[in-house]
Amino acid sequence: MGHSAAVWDHRTAIEVTKDWNGIDQVVLRNPQGASARVSLHGGQVTSWRNEQGEELLFTSSKAIFKPPKAMRGGIPICFPQFGNCGSLEQHGFARNKLWTIDENSPPLPPNDSHGKSFVDLLLKPTEEDLKGWPHSYEFRLRISLAADGVLTLISRIRNINGRPFSFSFAYHTYLSVSDISEVRIEGLETLDYLDNLCQRERFTEQGDAITFESEVDRVYLSSSHLIAVLDHEKKRTFVIRKEGLPDIVVWNPWDKKSKAMADFGDEEYKQMLCVDGAAIEKPITLKPGEEWTGRLELSVVPSSFCSEYLDH
């Protein structure tokens, strides 16, 4: 094992291609055959497949793959605003911008690159951007695929402005599930949450797990660093680990809202669930020169392993 890791060259596991709009996308692969696809439009992960080639992220069959609109599915980046809680467009502008591949990214700790294929992306504001949000920043995003198929996103946002600025943030993660009525989330019990269906009123979670029978749109506050999404029908569990992201958004539009969205199939709510690592309730404030890091790690395990994961 040590030998194969030593000769593993992440550069050979990366392929840059163009999508049907002519926009660059990066494909990451690992030695076992898992893959991830990242579009430079929005710095958005658009696909994450396990070694059997099974897609783990949801993308709507009616998704619009055309800038400047963000694609419905995958993992859009919400920055510097989540939702419509500010003066900017819904979920901010990062998911609608063209990112660049960052060839000179400051190094991450050595253990983060061991046996992984990864790409570093960079977003900086243009003169035009500064008219709408007058803050200079560097947003570096590393997306990596590990030898065991774990997908990790690390965002580093630095204030290169002369004055402080604040932002909210989320990795708007669309998970692919077999049937929403067969899914439960563990790790959010007893937490307070803001309910977006009740003017962001604050409630306390009463259930020992979250299950789904109708529309859900909540921000769970001060959650633990480990959340599990159990898909009973597929007998698999998404394990979500996070750092620097105190909140968790849980969203499923259910039938009525699905029919109202042009880029979403009427029945597709049954096959998807958004569970987002986020920083929403208390916006992050950066002084000049300060940097914030938000890390999300997604893995999939057989559901029988789930309880031992959560016990850790």
Which residues fall in the annotated binding site? 72, 90, 95
CA dihedral 56→57→60→64, nearest 10 degrees, is -130
Which has the closest alpha carbon to 184: 280, 252, 247? 252
**Residue in the structure block whose two tokens are 């605003």:** 81
Buried b (16+ CB within 10 A) or exposed e, 295-305: bbbbbbeeeee
**Residue in the structure block whose two tokens are 């995003």:** 141
189 contacts: CB under 8 Å, gap ≥ 6:
205, 207, 208, 209
Determine if residue 130 is left, alpha or beta; phi over 0 gives left, psi from -120 to 50 gives alpha, anything else beta: alpha
Query: Is residue 170 helix, strand or coil?
Result: strand
In this structure, the number of other CB atoms found within 10 A of the CB of residue 226 comes to: 16
Peptide bond into 253 cis (omega under 30): no
Contact between 49 and 74 under an 8 Å Cβ cutoff? The reply is no
Q: Which helix (H) or strand (E) element contains residue 129?
A: helix 127-132
Backbone dihedral angles phi then psi of residue 44, each to the nearest 5 degrees: -95, 125
What residue numbers does the annotated binding site for substrate cover? 72, 90, 95
The span from the CA of 232 to the CA of 206, in Å, is: 21
Backbone dihedral angles phi then psi of residue 172, each to the nearest 5 degrees: -85, 80
Determine if residue 255 is left, alpha or beta; phi over 0 gives left, psi from -120 to 50 gives alpha, anything else beta: alpha
Q: Which ranges in 195-281 belong to alpha helices (H)? A: 254-260
**Residue in the structure block whose two tokens are 């769970």:** 220
